[in-house]
Amino acid sequence: MPTVKMREARAESASSRETEKLAALAKALGHPARLGVIRMLHERQTCIGCDIVDEIGLAQSTTSEHLRILKASGVITGEVESPRVCYSLNQEALEPLRQFLNDVIGVPAEPTVS
Q: Reduce the DSSP state of residue 90 to 3 states and report it.
A: coil
Q: Where are the domains of the chain?
A: 2-105
Q: Is 111 exposed, middle or buried (CB count within 10 Å of its CB: 0-12, 13-18, 19+)?
A: exposed
pLDDT band, very low/low/confident/very high, at 17 (cuts 50, 70, 90): confident
pLDDT of residue 66: 96
pLDDT band, very low/low/confident/very high, at 63 (cuts 50, 70, 90): very high
Tell me the percentage of the chain whose pLDDT exceeds 90: 51
**2-105, what's its fold?**
Arc Repressor Mutant, subunit A (1.10.10)
Instruction: Judge if pTM exceeds 0.85.
Output: no
DSSP state letters, 7-37:
HHHHHHHHHHHHHHHHHHHHHHT-SHHHHHH
